[in-house]
Amino acid sequence: MLYLPVDSAKMTNRGYAFINFTCAENVERFVREFINRPWKELNRKNKAAVLYWAFVQGKDATLAHINTEVMNRRDNGVEVY
């Protein structure tokens, strides 16, 4: 699954994406094909793909982490929207 955030004011992507790989083989293939590959056809700044691993892995773990963070912020008096 791919999520590519868009800047609606500029009608362009924000320059990053979130990818949910379903197996390790797909991660390996992505790394071989895209990491450090220039995106010349898509931009004029010669940017290249970079991969960062998420601290929390998996949908259920991510949702649990978000819920925990929101509750911790509320408990510390931080407004959460």
Q: For residues 38 and 14, state if they share a domain.
A: yes
Q: For residues 35 and 71, state if they share a domain.
A: no
Residue 23 has pLDDT above 60, yes or no: yes
Q: What is the Cα–Cα distance from 24 to 1, expressed in whole angstroms?
A: 14
Instruction: Please choose, from the candidates 5, 32, 6, the residue with its C-alpha nearest in 3D space to the C-alpha of residue 19.
Output: 5
Q: For residues 59 and 39, state if they share a domain.
A: no
Q: For residues 6 and 31, state if they share a domain.
A: yes
Q: For residues 9 and 33, state if they share a domain.
A: yes
Task: Report the pLDDT value the prediction gives residue 75, as an integer from 0 to 100.
Answer: 58
Task: Report the pLDDT value the prediction gives residue 29, as an integer from 0 to 100.
Answer: 92
Q: For residues 25 and 40, state if they share a domain.
A: yes
The token pair that represents 48 in the structure block: 């290249």
Average of pLDDT values for 34-55?
74
- Domain residues for 10? 2-50
Q: For residues 66 and 81, state if they share a domain.
A: yes
pTM: 0.54
